[in-house]
Amino acid sequence: MLHANDEPIPAIMEKLSHHVESHFALEARLMKQYAFPARECHIEEHENVLASVREVSVLVAA
């Protein structure tokens, strides 16, 4: 734990959520730009991951 972060878990989860949202938004734009065939399915997976991140965020904030 030498390099452990003292930042509260809810704050870390908020940063993670913002990062994941930004990353998925970029991926969605690229998939549309390049007409990725499985785009809709992949975007659904993004939504599932985001829902999980949000669920964990709520749990750790309680």
- Do residues 50 and 20 touch, judged by C-beta distance below 8 A? yes
Predicted TM-score of the model (pTM): 0.82
Q: Report the pLDDT value the prediction gives residue 3, as an integer from 0 to 100.
A: 75
Q: Average pLDDT of 35-54? A: 96
Region for residue 35 given its phi and psi (left: phi exceeds 0; alpha: psi -120 to 50; beta: otherwise) = left
Q: What torsion, rounded to 10 degrees, do the Cα atoms 25, 29, 30, 35 define?
A: 130
Domain locations in the chain? 9-61
Q: pLDDT tens across 7-32, in order?
A: 899 999 999 999 999 999 999 999 99
Q: Is 2's pLDDT higher than 60?
A: yes
Q: Report the pLDDT value the prediction gives residue 7, as an integer from 0 to 100.
A: 87
